[in-house]
Copies of this chain bind each other. A is one copy, B any other.
Amino acid sequence: MQIGELSRRTGVSVRMLRYYEEEGLLQPSRRDSGYRDYGPAEEQLVRRIRVFSDAGLKLHAIRTLLPCVLNDRPELELCNEVRATLNREIGGIEERIACLESSRDILVGYLRQDAKRPRIGVRLQR
């Protein structure tokens, strides 16, 4: 299948499909014309990349996950690597969540303060 159809099927833009390739996540075969040719395996792979990508992983991180998915290195070692990567990513996400929660609390705090006083915080000397 050509890149346009794969794009339509997966909802990933043509631009991004080429970008995935540039980043080493995809290696579609080429026709004589130079056109990229994707098979069902690639389509599956793209869908999987999308899941991780939607989950907020950067392509760089996803790439470290793919060897296990593609199974072109010994299983156990890689699955350990993958578990480590996932754990690291989950940790990062939770860190960001905690950060956002404290940000929200700060803003909520301002809002409460504002409800009590006419102005935010201490008045500036101007």
A-side interface residues toward B, CB under 8 Å?
40-41, 44-45, 48, 51, 54-57, 65, 68-71, 75, 79, 82-83, 86-87, 89-90, 93-94, 96-97, 99-101, 103-104, 106-108, 110-111, 114, 118-126
Contact = CB atoms under 8 A, between A and B. Distances in A.
Secondary structure type dominating chain A contacts: helix
The 7 closest A-B pairs by CB, nearest first: A55-B103, A56-B103, A55-B106, A93-B104, A97-B100, A86-B111, A41-B124
Contacts of A75: 118-119
B45 A124 contact: yes
Given A82-B120, A86-B114, A90-B104, 18 more contacts: A41-B124, A44-B124, A44-B125, A45-B124, A48-B121, A55-B106, A56-B100, A57-B107, A68-B119, A70-B124, A71-B119, A79-B118, A86-B107, A86-B111, A90-B107, A93-B103, A94-B104, A100-B100
